[in-house]
Structure 1
C-alpha cells in the first residue's frame, strides 16, 4: 500500500486520549504525560483502564480492547497516546473495528510493543507515529528534542514550515552509502518478527525498514534477521535503518559485536544502510512517521532521513 492516509494535524483544544493497551504503568507517568500534553494546549482524557492492573497487564484483554476501541471510535479525539509498551498488544490485534476510525482518523503514538498496532494501522491504510510515550514526557525537560519534535509533527509545524522535515545523524563506519526512497515502516524487531506470516506483516517491496530492540541477546537478534533474510524480506527493501539495541550483554558470542554481525548479514545488499540511528529504548528516540514516504541518504559524513509529507 503506497498511499497511507495521514490523520489531521492538531489545533489547540483538540482531544488526546491516553490509554494503556499492553503492560501496566506507574500512575505518576500518566500524570506527567497529562501535564505535558495539557501544556501543549490539548484536552487530555484518560481512558477508563489507563491505570489499571491485571497481572503484568493494564487490565484484562476485554478492558484493554474496550479502551482502545472507544478511543478509535471517539469522533472528537485526534490522538491515541499509548502510555507505554511492554508485552500485551498482540492480545488485541484481531478484536478491533476500524469502521468509525476511518471516518474520524487520529494519530496513534507509541513504540516498542506498540509496533504491533503500527502494523495494524498501516494494514488498514493509516500512517502513525513511532514516538516517545508517557515516561519520556514525564521525566524529560520542556525543551527535550524528541518531545518538541513530536509536538511539531502533531501540530504540522515540522510539516508546513519552509524547511524540509528531516533528521540528520553522523555517519557510522559500517554504513552502506547511497540514496533510497520508499515508505518508512518498522519498529521493535522482536514484535515485528512475531507478526511475520500473519495478515499484520508489512510488505517488503518499496519499504525503508527501521529496527530497534531492548534486552535481546545478540544471537536472538541475528536469528530474527536471518528470518528476514531467508524469507526474502531484506533483498526487497529500498533501505535499512538499524537503530539502538540496548540492555544486553555484548559478549561477542557471534565472534564480533552485534553491529558487526548484522553488517556481515546485510553486506550483499546494494541499498543504503544506516547503523546507530537515534531510535529505540533510549532518550534520543526521534519520532518517526510510520507509513510516510521518505528518502534515506547515507553519505560519507552524515545520514539524512527526509519525510515527504504531502498528504495529496
Structure 2
C-alpha cells in the first residue's frame, strides 16, 4: 500500500464537503484545532454552500475535491461531515491526481465510500473524526488523529469484552461503516478482504437490517478468509415492536462463529463517544486476550 507522507508543521489541510453541508461558522473549531497543531487550514469552495442537505451540487463537490487533489501544497483532505452524498461524486473524482500526489483523506461514516474505493487503488487513508466532530470529540480522539497524521506510533489498549473471540492477527486494515460497505457490494468500490483485518461500525440501524447486512457480507465472501475483525461502536440501534431477538453484537458473532479468526467488540471507534483514528490500509497487529485487547498500528 502507498502511504502518503506524514504531515509536518506548516503543511496545508483542506476541509471540503463530500456529503452534507457545512458552514464557515461550523468550521471554526476545526480550523482552531489544525492551527494548534501547527497546520494551515484551507477551506474548500464547498464550505458554506447550501444545496438542501448537501454542501453544494454533485458537480461542485466533485470539483472541490479534485481541486484539493491537484494542489500539491495541500497535504491532506479532511472531509467536513458525513450523512449522505459521497457515493454521488465518487465516480467524478480524478483519482489519477491522488496516485500522482498521494495525500491523506480523512473522515468516517459516509466517507467510507472513499476509504473503500481508495483502498482498492492501493493508498492508505485515515478513518477518524471529521471537522464537524471537533466540538464534541474527546481529547483521546483528537490526539489519535494528530498521532496518525504526524506518523506517531499508535498503540490502543482496551478492556476485555465478554463477546470477544481470543487470538492474534496481523494484516492490512480495511473497512469502515457497515451500511456503506454493504451498499458498495457489487460495485468497483467494493472491498477485497481476504487475509485482511476488517473494521466495521454503524449508527441508527434496525437490528434486522444489521442482520441483513452481515448475511450479505458473508454471502459475498467478505468474512471468509479474514485474519481478524474489529467491531467498533454499534451505536443507537433500534428494534421493532416484535423484538428481533438478538442485539448487534450477537448478530455479528453468530455470523463470524463459523470462521476461525479473532474478533474484538465495542472497540472505541465509530459514531460513539470515542472515535480513535485508524490508518486504513496499514498493516496492523491485533492481540485479543482475556485480560484485554491491544492494537498496534
CA 1:223–1:8 in structure 2 vs 1: closer, same or farther (change >3 Å)?
same
Q: Tell me the residue number matched to 2:249.
A: 259
Q: TM-score, normalised by structure 2?
A: 0.95
Q: Tell me the residue number matched to 1:310.
A: none
Give the drift of 1:27.
Answer: 3.8
Give the drift of 1:96.
Answer: 1.4
2:60 partner SS: helix
Q: TM-score, normalised by structure 1?
A: 0.91
The separation in 2 between residues aligned to 1:107 and 1:293, in whole angstroms, is: 16
Farther-moved stretch of structure 1 (5-14 vs 28-37)? 28-37
CA contact (8 A) 1:176 1:273 kept: yes
Give the drift of 1:136.
Answer: 2.5
The separation in 2 between residues aligned to 1:83 and 1:126, in whole angstroms, is: 21
Give the drift of 1:42.
Answer: 0.9
| Cα-to-partner distance string for 1:265-304 (whole Å, 9 max, x where unaligned) | 2212110011111111122110000001011111111111
The residue correspondences of 1:161-240 to structure 2 (distance < 5 A) are 165-240=154-229
CA contact (8 A) 1:20 1:51 kept: no
Deviating beyond 6 angstroms after TM superposition, the runs of 4 or more aligned structure 1 residues are: none
| Cα-to-partner distance string for 1:188-244 (whole Å, 9 max, x where unaligned) | 001111111111111121110010111110110110000011222212211111111
Q: Tell me the residue number matched to 1:56.
A: 53
Give the drift of 1:26.
Answer: 4.5
| Cα-to-partner distance string for 1:30-89 (whole Å, 9 max, x where unaligned) | 111111111111111100112211011110000000000001111111010001111000
The separation in 2 between residues aligned to 1:118 and 1:231, in whole angstroms, is: 19
The separation in 2 between residues aligned to 1:29 and 1:283, in whole angstroms, is: 20
2:267 partner SS: coil
2:194 partner SS: coil
Unmatched segments (≥5 aa) in structure 2: none
2:285 partner SS: strand
1:44 partner SS: strand
Q: Tell me the residue number matched to 1:148.
A: 143
The separation in 1 between residues aligned to 2:88 and 2:271, in whole angstroms, is: 22
Question: How many residues were matched structurally?
Answer: 296
CA 1:200–1:140 in structure 2 vs 1: closer, same or farther (change >3 Å)?
closer
CA 1:140–1:306 in structure 2 vs 1: closer, same or farther (change >3 Å)?
closer
The separation in 2 between residues aligned to 1:201 and 1:231, in whole angstroms, is: 10
The separation in 2 between residues aligned to 1:201 and 1:73, in whole angstroms, is: 25
